[in-house]
């Protein structure tokens, strides 16, 4: 048992109350008998600077995850080691506070997504992929897909400039990949896709609309929604009704969490323990 000062980790975002991350990380700390705790820090955009310059120091935070809407805005605060994925996407989801107070960052979202896809038996190589969203999470997912060399990658975002910027990243780092911006959601050609990914927050609230038309879905499409709470969004329900294979973001959450845990602590993440904690929270 570690009898030293308790190490503090957490998640920053706005909102964060829906997050399951504390359950898996605290279960891992308990299993490994580490004197550590994972908390939620609800930080608005207006309070982000205060968090980095004051809260981290006062609370002695050792590391933290970053979620919507701070994945891009956090990058300028990193002043130590920065991973290639962060440099490529200009978005970060995992920050480690070094002993000298500087901050290193990596992005475990893309690898977490890839590991979950692999576990589900889906290989994006040579497949047609339609992606809804172009924010921080979407960037990580898009580059992880590009690594596999899909036949086609179409990207739609309500902010077309963001979609174009993500498209440019893919073209720059993966010049052999065929990628295009879909100016409208219709141009995603979902009915032709092998994989449809929602990487936006649309679907988290009961009042959120279905972003696509049900008739575009068929049993040949694998529909992946990065949202995990609720476990079944309107998109996933519509996809399931259409006979599609579906997945929510719980697996991605698990694997990116395991990678973050190892990045902070240098210890092997107890994957089965963390998975069990997530499933108990989901079904509890």
pLDDT exceeds cutoff 60 at 70: yes
Whether residue 1 lies inside any domain: the answer is no
Range 58-85 average pLDDT: 96
Range 275-283 average pLDDT: 93
Same domain, 233 and 191: yes
**Six token digits for residue 202:** 């649309």
Whether residue 193 lies inside any domain: the answer is yes
Distances (CA, A) of 172 to 125, 135, 146, 165, 273: 19, 18, 11, 11, 39
Same domain, 227 and 259: no
Whether residue 138 lies inside any domain: the answer is yes
Rounded CA-CA distance 255/253 in Å is 6
Whether residue 165 lies inside any domain: the answer is yes
Rounded CA-CA distance 284/280 in Å is 5
Number of residues that this document lists for the chain: 284
Q: Give me the pLDDT at residue 1, please.
A: 47
Cβ within 8 Å of residue 184, ≥6 positions away: 156
**Is 240 annotated as catalytic?**
no
Range 23-45 average pLDDT: 98
Same domain, 260 and 195: no
**Six token digits for residue 224:** 């992946």
Q: Give me the pLDDT at residue 49, please.
A: 98
Same domain, 173 and 134: yes
Burial class (CB in 10 A: 0-12, 13-18, 19+), 284: exposed
Same domain, 31 and 136: no
The mean pLDDT of the chain is 96
Same domain, 168 and 98: no
Range 108-134 average pLDDT: 97
Domain containing 21 — which CATH number? 3.40.50.10860
Q: Give me the pLDDT at residue 282, please.
A: 87
pLDDT exceeds cutoff 70 at 3: no
Q: Give me the pLDDT at residue 51, please.
A: 98
Whether residue 129 lies inside any domain: the answer is yes
Whether residue 59 lies inside any domain: the answer is yes
Same domain, 66 and 116: no
Range 189-199 average pLDDT: 98
Task: Give residue-wise pLDDT tens across range 136-184.
Answer: 899 999 999 999 999 999 999 999 999 999 999 999 999 999 999 999 9
Give the helix ranges, DSSP H, for the chain.
Answer: 21-31, 48-50, 56-59, 84-89, 109-119, 136-147, 160-173, 234-241, 250-265, 271-283
Q: Give me the pLDDT at residue 169, please.
A: 96
Same domain, 133 and 80: no
- Percent of the chain as helix, strand, coil, to the nearest 5: 40, 20, 40
**Rounded percentage of the chain residues whose pLDDT exceeds 90:** 95
Same domain, 58 and 136: no
Rounded CA-CA distance 163/102 in Å is 32
**DSSP code, position 78:** -
Same domain, 130 and 207: yes
Same domain, 38 and 62: yes
Range 222-234 average pLDDT: 96
Backbone angles phi, psi at 217, to 5 degrees: -95, 140
Whether residue 2 lies inside any domain: the answer is no
Domain containing 165 — which CATH number? 3.40.50.720
Does residue 111 contact residue 42 with C-beta atoms inside 8 Å? no
Same domain, 172 and 147: yes
pLDDT exceeds cutoff 60 at 47: yes
Range 44-53 average pLDDT: 97
Per the structure, the complete domain to which residue 55 belongs is given by: 7-107+251-283
The band of 2, judged by pLDDT with boundaries at 50, 70 and 90, is low
User: Taking the complete model, does pTM exceed 0.85, yes or no?
Assistant: yes
Query: For the chain, what is the domain count?
Result: 2
Q: Which of 17, 47, 53, 71 is catalytic?
A: 71
pLDDT exceeds cutoff 50 at 5: yes
The band of 227, judged by pLDDT with boundaries at 50, 70 and 90, is very high
The band of 244, judged by pLDDT with boundaries at 50, 70 and 90, is very high
Whether residue 279 lies inside any domain: the answer is yes
């Amino acid at each position: 048992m570690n009898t030293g000062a308790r190490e503090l980790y957490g998640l920053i975002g706005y909102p964060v109350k829906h997050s399951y991350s504390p359950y898996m990380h605290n279960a891992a700390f308990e299993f490994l008998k580490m004197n550590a705790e994972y908390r939620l820090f609800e930080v608005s955009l207006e309070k982000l600077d205060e968090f980095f310059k004051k809260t981290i120091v006062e609370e002695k935070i050792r590391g933290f995850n970053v979620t919507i809407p701070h994945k891009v805005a956090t990058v300028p605060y990193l002043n130590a080691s920065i991973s290639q994925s962060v440099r490529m996407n200009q978005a970060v989801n995992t920050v480690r506070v070094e002993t000298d107070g500087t901050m290193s960052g990596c992005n475990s979202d893309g690898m977490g997504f890839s590991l979950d896809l692999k576990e589900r038996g889906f290989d994006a190589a040579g497949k047609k992929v339609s992606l809804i969203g172009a924010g921080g999470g979407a960037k990580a997912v898009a580059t992880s897909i590009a690594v596999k060399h899909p036949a086609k990658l179409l990207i739609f975002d309500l902010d077309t400039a963001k979609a174009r910027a993500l498209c440019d990243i893919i073209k720059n780092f993966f010049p052999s990949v065929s990628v295009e911006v879909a100016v409208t959601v219709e141009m995603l050609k979902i009915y032709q896709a092998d994989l449809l990914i929602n990487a936006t927050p649309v679907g988290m609230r009961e009042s959120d609309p279905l972003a696509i038309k049900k008739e575009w879905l068929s049993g040949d499409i694998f529909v992946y929604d990065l949202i995990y709470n609720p476990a079944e969004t309107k998109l996933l329900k519509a996809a399931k009704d259409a006979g599609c294979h579906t997945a929510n973001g719980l697996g991605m959450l698990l694997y990116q969490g395991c990678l973050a845990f190892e990045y902070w602590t240098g210890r092997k993440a107890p994957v089965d323990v963390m998975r069990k904690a997530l499933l108990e929270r989901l079904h509890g």
